């Protein structure tokens, strides 16, 4: 039900339409019979007004919002005009025997009625638009001249006080220059942004910002545009998504900042989603480290694939509670949260015996390099002994596969964390070879699939959240070394490829003990990442916000690697997924070494534990003092 104010506006609209309909009768009679008195007789005038109100009801003519009059509204006006003129003529003939003054009168009446109803609506909308443009607003250029630009301009036209005015558009193609969308000119291509902005600056019409209307614009094109905008002191922002704009006048036209993920220049890798669904659907799945960045995303994606039961295991109560709350009603009655430490072998065995998982994703680990350097025995017990506990318990209860989440820091490691993860890889590789031997003999065996990748943007403790906090505090942004590089990918992409690797790794034809490596693209310089984040905040690097170099920390190296020199990459059938040639050790030998390392850790003898680790991982070149020697930057690796 309309409130009294809305009802009054609707009644006013109906009265205005009736008056215009009466005027249309007068105008039509004068056009049909120029020499006759158009005001006589009065009955056709009154009936014409009533007929229009009646005929306009099915087309909701009186409820139209004149300030937001659209093409759909004007089509409704045209239909109501035809219906109103027809009803008027039929009613006069049937009820009063009054024939049209001329054969052309019905057509003239229809056209006159449509014109008198349309012109005030269009005029009112244009008048409101002109008044809105008198309000102060920032001037922008839209980047993209497709559906997104069309929807954004349409939404702006409905605003009484638009938050910004559009001076022009930059297109992604060459065939659009010189054309117009909603009267706004297309000034040129995105590749010509520097020249166009310089010309506008010379004309004193430089916009305040560039607004991206294409949600898919990212990578190299966006990076170049960011540099052109920075040179002119402009911000680059994103428009609301087309699906948000399609909601009409109530939509808020808030412009969003570009996020650092947009600048990764990574194409989404196609996944075999049917095979991934078959891997998970109807299975009992357990995820360790379920509250972490990778673990929680694994939980989200696995939960969407309809497992028979899902167990979320973590030793952090708050992190576990967060992902549990996020799942809400998903898998109600078919999921369980478990607080447990993977270093507690007895507890892990009990959990596995109760859960009986078919598939285990092992994402629990201590991953912060400097922190593990300061607490080496904790890192070794968690990342090595903890991994063995999970793998042995899963195998004992008949799990079909366990997936180990590893890291590029395990290749030619210089940190305790990286060397520990390499040792975990070795154990899982040896276990996988043993499983393959059993499978060949038609005996039960658990596949161990190891997946190695680099840094995940925005993960807990990673560089992006650190830079965000430093930016919020006004800087400076701290970078350890000007030459430091890292591989990056988004958490959603990483987990999607982990699931894809799990499918491939469970295939009987895959090499024993092979490690799957996600194609991380090209490495990114951390200092370039810092500069980009400053630009995304609308600030200038080294002017508004300083960048300070603090030196490498213990355990760090300048360049990460994804393949060891003795494990050259092998292709798989899936883009974005490679396999490292197996480089394994004997299961019994690795297991004994883990026992010895764990014993030294429990005795708080870190030096002896690290010495044992060094014998098992001979390429471990411990950077205990934060020194970046050339050997650590460039030897024995495939990047």
Give the separation between CA 31 and CA 276, rounded to whole angstroms: 73
Q: Max alpha carbon distance in the chain (Å)?
A: 116
Give the separation between CA 50 and CA 54, rounded to whole angstroms: 6
| List of residues 6+ apart from 325 with CB closer than 8 A | none
Nearest one of 249, 250, 64, 61 to 157, comparing CA atoms = 249
Q: Is the separation of the CB atoms in 262 and 218 below 8 Å?
A: yes
Bin 340: left if φ > 0, else alpha if -120 < ψ < 50, else beta: beta
Tokens of 154: 């349409």
The secondary structure of 285-320 as a DSSP string is EEEETTTSHHHHHHHHHHHTT--SEEEEEES-HHHH
Q: Is the separation of the CB atoms in 518 and 494 below 8 Å?
A: yes
Nearest one of 120, 124, 126 to 24, comparing CA atoms = 120
Of 283, 367, 409, 421, the catalytic one is 409
3-state secondary structure of 511: coil
Supply angle C-alpha 15, 19, 25, rounded to 5: 145
- State yes or no: is 525 an active-site residue: no
Give the separation between CA 105 and CA 110, rounded to whole angstroms: 9
| List of residues 6+ apart from 129 with CB closer than 8 A | 157
Q: Which residues are catalytic?
A: 409
């Amino acid at each position: 039900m309309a409130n009294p104010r809305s009802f009054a506006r609707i009644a006013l609209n109906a009265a205005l339409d009736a008056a215009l309909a009466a005027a249309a009768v007068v105008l039509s009679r004068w056009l049909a019979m120029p020499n006759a008195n158009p005001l006589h007789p009065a009955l056709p005038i009154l009936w014409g007004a009533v007929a229009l109100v009646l005929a306009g009801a099915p087309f909701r003519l009186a409820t139209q919002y004149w300030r937001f009059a659209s093409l759909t509204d004007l089509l409704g006006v045209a239909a109501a005009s035809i219906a109103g003129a027809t009803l008027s003529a039929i009613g006069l003939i049937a009820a009063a025997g009054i024939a049209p003054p001329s054969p052309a009168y019905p057509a003239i009446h229809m056209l006159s009625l449509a014109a008198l109803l349309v012109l005030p609506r269009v005029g009112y909308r244009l008048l409101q638009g002109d008044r809105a443009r008198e309000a102060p607003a920032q001037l922008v250029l839209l980047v993209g001249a497709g559906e997104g630009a069309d929807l954004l301009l349409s939404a702006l036209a409905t605003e009484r006080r638009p938050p910004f005015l559009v001076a022009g558009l930059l297109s992604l193609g060459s065939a659009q220059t010189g054309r117009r969308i909603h009267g706004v000119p297309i000034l040129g291509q995105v590749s010509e942004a520097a020249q166009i902005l310089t010309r506008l600056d010379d004309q004193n019409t430089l916009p305040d910002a560039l607004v991206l209307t294409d949600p898919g614009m990212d990578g190299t094109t966006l990076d170049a545009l960011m540099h052109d905008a920075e040179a002119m002191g402009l911000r680059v922002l994103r428009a609301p998504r087309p699906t948000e704009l399609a909601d009409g006048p109530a939509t808020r036209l808030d412009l969003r900042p570009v996020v650092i993920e947009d600048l990764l220049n990574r194409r989404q890798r196609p996944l075999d989603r049917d095979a991934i669904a078959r891997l998970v659907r109807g299975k009992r799945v357990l995820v360790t480290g379920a509250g972490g960045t990778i673990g929680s995303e694994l939980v989200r994606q696995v939960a969407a694939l309809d497992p028979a039961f899902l167990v979320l295991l973590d030793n952090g109560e708050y992190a576990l509670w967060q992902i549990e709350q996020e799942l809400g009603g998903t898998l109600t009655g078919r999921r369980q949260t478990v607080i447990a430490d993977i270093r507690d072998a007895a507890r892990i065995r009990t959990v596995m015996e109760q859960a009986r998982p078919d598939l285990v994703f092992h994402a629990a680990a201590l991953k912060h390099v400097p922190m593990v350097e300061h607490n080496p025995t904790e890192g070794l017990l968690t990342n090595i002994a903890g991994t063995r506990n999970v793998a042995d318990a899963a195998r004992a209860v008949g799990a079909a596969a366990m997936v180990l989440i590893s890291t590029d820091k395990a290749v030619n490691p210089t940190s305790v964390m990286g060397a520990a993860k390499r040792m975990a890889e070795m154990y899982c590789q040896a276990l996988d070879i043993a499983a393959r031997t059993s499978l060949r003999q038609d005996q039960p065996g658990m596949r161990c699939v190891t997946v190695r990748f680099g840094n995940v943007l925005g993960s807990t403790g990673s560089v992006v959240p650190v830079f965000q906090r430093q930016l919020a505090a006004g800087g400076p942004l701290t970078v350890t070394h000007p030459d430091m590089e890292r591989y990056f990918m988004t958490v959603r992409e990483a987990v999607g490829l982990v699931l894809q690797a799990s499918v491939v790794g469970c295939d009987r034809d895959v090499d024993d003990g092979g490690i799957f490596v996600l194609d991380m693209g090209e490495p990114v310089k951390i200092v370039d990442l810092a500069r980009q984040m400053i630009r995304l905040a609308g600030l200038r690097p080294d002017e508004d916000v300083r960048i300070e170099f603090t030196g490498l920390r213990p355990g760090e190296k300048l360049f990460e690697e994804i393949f060891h020199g003795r494990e050259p990459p092998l292709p798989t059938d899936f883009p974005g997924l490679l396999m490292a040639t197996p480089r394994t050790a004997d299961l019994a030998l690795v297991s004994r070494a883990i026992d010895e390392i764990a014993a030294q850790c429990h005795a708080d003898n870190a030096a002896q534990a690290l010495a044992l680790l060094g014998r098992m991982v001979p390429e471990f070149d411990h950077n205990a003092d934060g020194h970046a020697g050339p050997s650590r930057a460039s030897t024995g690796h495939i990047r």
